[in-house]
Amino acid sequence: MGATVAVVAAASARRAEADLLERFRVSDATAPGRAQTLSQLGLEGSRYFDRFQSAGVIRQDPGGAGRYYLDEVAFAAYRRQRANPWALAGALCLAGAAIILGAVMLLVQRAR
């Protein structure tokens, strides 16, 4: 049950991140000259916004106060960087499942 909750939470977080990025893309706020305010983008304080801004994926237009844009090149680098921890987590989960399966099989054999 806990694993299901974790999967649903992760999927929900991915969707929220994708929605945030889509707002920038649909609004064409993907370059400094096309930066927009958060109200124009329909964004009001998002933890994903803060995360992407800290990572340099969303940047503030230096010439326009309070105007932001999506840096697609920085997002591609961010996505590549975050891909490795997920692969490691997946491998650890598979290894854990194999250990549990082995333990269960051992217990079943001993019970006979």
- Give the contacts of 53 (CB within 8 A, at least 6 positions apart): 59, 60, 68
Q: What is the largest CA-CA distance in the chain?
A: 76
> How far is 30 from 76, CA to CA, in rounded Å?
13
> How far is 29 from 27, CA to CA, in rounded Å?
5
Per-residue pLDDT of the chain (112 residues; tens, 9 = 90+): 566 777 777 788 888 889 999 999 999 999 999 999 988 998 876 788 888 999 999 999 888 778 999 999 999 998 888 766 666 677 778 778 888 988 888 888 888 7
Global pTM exceeds 0.85: no
Spell out the SS3 assignment of 47-83.
HHHHHHHHCCCEEECCCCCCEEEECHHHHHHHHHHHH
pLDDT number for residue 22: 94
Q: Decide which of 1.20.1250.20, 3.40.50.10420, 1.10.10.10, 3.30.365.10 is the CATH code for 2-82.
A: 1.10.10.10
